[in-house]
Structure 1
Amino acid sequence: MTVSAVGLALLGSLFFAFGAALQQFEAASTTHAGLRHLIRRPRWLLGGLAIAVGTALHIVALKYGPLTVVQPMGVASLLFALPCAAALQRRRPRPGELAAAAVIAIGLIGLVLVVPEHTGDPHLGTGGAVALLAGAATASLALWIAAGRASPAVRAGLLAMAAGVLYGATATLTRVLVDGSWEPWFLLAVPMPALIALALLQRAYAVGHFGVSFAALQVADPLTAVAFGALLLGEPLPTGTASTLTALAAAALIAAGTVALARTSPMTPRPDLTAR
């Protein structure tokens, strides 16, 4: 069963990576990176379908294997995404890109493994949900404002982090809807941060540094969900000297890998613009 879970999770990561690479290629290939324009592009929609399939496979994998085994497999999407993006750009992935992505992946796996699994049913009242949405919106807005004054690589990372924060908030609300007690208006609230996150992510992709934006998304999304889970749902955080040191070392690896990726990941060419 665990072997099946690992296989499904890896296959899901491949689909997710391919879908993200397709959407980034389309977003970077047009001057109009808004959702209203992108949903008219078949390849972008195909990317969205691939991401949906990858997400579904990951959910099925969780039914066959423990979270501590399945979640690290999801990190593999970062390693799959760079070769996919390079293939779409008709180039080979640079060794420095893959090395930096591997460092980030190791750091993410370290963080995932030290977070204890929560077995209780989550509860979130109206006040907690408002605090969650307001906190995510504030953090995302601050990152979006900072991105406007940053260099291209940093801008891509900040915009993707803003999207990741909103996706993390969406994941927290979704967990409550699936496993816990909630208010009826949560059903209307869940799509809002997800749609804004999707729009922000396309803006990040349009900048051109796919490796940086995808890595920032992979980091911000789970960390935000863990933070909201601890603050609002009472979920446990790592405790003890060993777990704390592991988390700090993992965070250092993620930071170092992201900086290296920003230096090695090339800008995505814009074929429909350069042809003019």
Structure 2
Amino acid sequence: MHAAPSLDDVADQLVGVFADPGILIGIPLALLGAVFMSFGAQYQHRGVQKVERLTRTDGGTGLTGGQLWNLLRRPSWVAGTVMLGLAIVCQLTALSFAPLILVQPLGAISLVITTLLNARISGHKPTGRSIAAISLCVAGILVFVTVAALYATETPVSDGQLITVLVILLVVAAILTALWLWLRSRIGALFYIVAAGIMYGFVATLAKVVISRIQSGDFEWLTVLCVVGVIAGTGIGAYFVQTAYASGPPDLVIAGLTVIDPIVAIVIGLAVLREAENAPWWAYIGFVAAGALAVAGVFQLARYHPQVVSDSQELPIERGSAGGPKSGAARLDEAVKKVWPEPPVRDRDDRAPR
């Protein structure tokens, strides 16, 4: 008779499933970051909506400097920013343990949490079509994570690869900025969501490189350029995200970010950083199929989200307003106000407090 396997043997077998044991640390950190992202997005969206109402200025074509300044005075927006900061810390820490193409897609769990939060707060209950769209997003990401967990590995990034990523980032940022300046009066939330997702995909890639080089003690001029790229990409992406909050519901924004962001990081990881170089051919087919499912889900959600449909039909439901009894998130927001009362917002044309 064979002895029953010990707990240590089972743990060793579990670790052996993955090419890198650090994944077992990176995955929980990435999931914790997704939770912070969900609550952070909800509170930032609420802050943007408040500033729009109080200043009587639509931010859907791009937030003004005055609106950005007023955001810093909204406790809900500041609380959301702190939560997103914690999400970034969790994500960066996860990147120090696990490959980029595994950590990034795990943010999809925040889509489910944000959808539930927004339904409670706005009163727009998910419809069958919107649930199907969300399911496509999550299913696509989960398929990718499963494949990536088995074949993703850490690979050293050469100077040539890093320069390639920086050049592509510069070109992409220039194109997105030009499109925004040219079409800002005609574009909607989907453009801002896609643009922010693209920028954050590059930010995650460069952040991963910076972490790896710091860990190896290789901090030189190219690493400094990466840090500059991270800061610039984060700033551009953050502006697009805040404008997206003024144009659409928070779960639509999160849906785009949790799909577009990892897809960009995936493409960079596969094509430039070679993080799945030893994966079989069917794994790449899985990557493509999973990405197609997730992207289709985003576009379906943008079309059939109940809050988007309600706004387009001009139904008597105020965007971002509560549709019933106060939710837990609403009560939490009131608690924040008691600790940190919101100051009055002043308009340039009306100096009286509102």
Structure that is richer in helix per residue: 1
Question: Counterpart in 1 of 2:198?
Answer: 165
Question: Counterpart in 2 of 1:208?
Answer: 248
Letter of the aligned partner of 1:164 in structure 2?
G
Deviations 1:66-109 (A, max 9, x none): 88876654321111111112223245444433332121111122
Matched, 1:16 2:37: yes
Aligned-partner Cα distance in 1 for 2:294–2:203: 23
Letter of the aligned partner of 1:120 in structure 2?
T
Distance verdict in 2 for CA 1:178–1:7, change over 3 Å: closer
Question: Counterpart in 1 of 2:288?
Answer: 248
Aligned-partner Cα distance in 1 for 2:25–2:154: 23
Deviations 1:98-140 (A, max 9, x none): 3321211111222344444232222335843541332331453
Equivalent position to 2:319, from 264, 269, 274: 269
Aligned with 1:15: secondary structure? helix
Question: Counterpart in 2 of 1:38?
Answer: 71
Q: CA RMSD, aligned part only? A: 3.4
Distance verdict in 2 for CA 1:118–1:96, change over 3 Å: same
TM-score by length of structure 1 reads: 0.79
Distance verdict in 2 for CA 1:63–1:171, change over 3 Å: closer
Question: Counterpart in 2 of 1:77?
Answer: 110
Q: Where in structure 2 are the equivalents of 1:1-276 lying within 5 Å?
A: 8-29=29-50, 30=52, 31=57, 32=59, 33-34=63-64, 35-59=68-92, 73-115=106-148, 116-124=151-159, 127-128=163-164, 130-141=166-177, 144=180, 145=182, 148-150=185-187, 155-180=188-213, 181=218, 182-183=220-221, 184-236=224-276, 240-265=280-305, 266-267=307-308, 269=319
Which structure is larger by alpha-carbon Rg, 1 or 2? 2
User: How many residue pairs were aligned?
Assistant: 269
Distance verdict in 2 for CA 1:62–1:133, change over 3 Å: closer
TM-score by length of structure 2 reads: 0.64
Aligned identity (percent) is: 29
Unaligned runs of 5+ in 1: none
